[in-house]
Amino acid sequence: MALTRRKLFKLAQWIFAAIVLFFAARSLATQWTRVQPRLSHIQFGWQWIGAATVLILLTYALLIEGWRRVLGAWDSHLPFPQAARIWFLSNLGKYVPGNIWSLTAMGVMARERGLSALAAAGSSVIMQAMSLATGTAIVMVTGAKLLGQPILVGVSVLILVLILLSAPRFLPPLAVWIGSLIGKNILPPSVPATSIWTAAIASTVSWLLYGFAFQLFVRGLLGTSPGEISSYIAVYTAAYILGFISPIAPAGLGVREFTLAAFMTQLGLANEADAALVAIAARLWLTIVELVPSGLYVAARATRKPLSH
């Protein structure tokens, strides 16, 4: 039964991703002719892009610390520098189609440090589940605000608070369920409530910082960033989540850009040409911001290897 459910889930992911990628490719191809003339008129606001980059790095630090706290529930402890190294290097796996390579890499590097691969994978799954739960709730909150529905905003905020308060109870079984879908047998630990709440708060704050950083990046790229910050939080969070659940698009490639451009246009944050430009530029920017630390860790490891004679 579990195997059939896993196959159905993967099939649904592939169908969804194929449909989105088709429309994403068609949309971006159409928009590219409009983007090209805009390229010659760009005047980068590097101070805004720099500030956005600092916020992204701060967000990474929050997520790494949240992962460390959950990892401790398995009696596995890592200093922050080592946790950051594993986190950045294992994240390279998301650039390969499929959602298991990051977890696999994280398990291998955890074993190298004398830790349990199960603990590394399980804590990572819990962090991902927490990020998806809080991200979905934040989209509900910000989306309701954009619709001008104060009652819906209140209900959405209440849902977000309930998710945070009940996280220690529902998150371990949720991690087991997610693990079964991706083919990982996750043993649910007795995770302290404080660790779960730390992860939940880190995930919630990270989405807010991502959205704020995205707004700063748009301002640095286009010279202006009309609209409220809630719009940018909603757009970025929704696009990231849709890209994350796509199984065949590495790091959400195509899916995230299509969603980002479509939502920005729909919410009046940019015209079609500028929205497409932002989507493509944001992908390049975030990839560089993520790959540079990973590359530094790879280079540092290479220099520490003893020379062969």
pLDDT of residue 128: 81
pLDDT computed for residue 99 by the predictor: 56
> For the CA atoms of 221, 225, 228, 230, what is the dihedral angle to 10 degrees?
-10
Q: Are 226 and 269 in contact (CB under 8 A)?
A: yes
Cβ contacts of 264 within 8 Å, gap of 6 or more: 235, 270, 274, 275, 278, 279
Which of 52, 53, 127 is CA-nearest to residue 83?
Answer: 127
pLDDT, residue 111, reads 74
Structure tokens at 259: 């969603």
Residue 67 is predicted with a pLDDT of: 86
Torsion of CA 297, 299, 301, 302, to 10 degrees: 160
What is the domain partition of the chain in residue ranges?
A: 2-22+44-296
Report the pLDDT value the prediction gives residue 268, as an integer from 0 to 100: 87
CB 55 within 8 A of CB 209: yes
pLDDT for the residue 307: 44
pLDDT tens digit sequence for 4-44 = 655 664 565 456 445 545 554 555 555 555 555 655 567 78
Where the chain has pLDDT below 50, the residues are 2, 9, 13, 16-17, 20, 24, 306-309
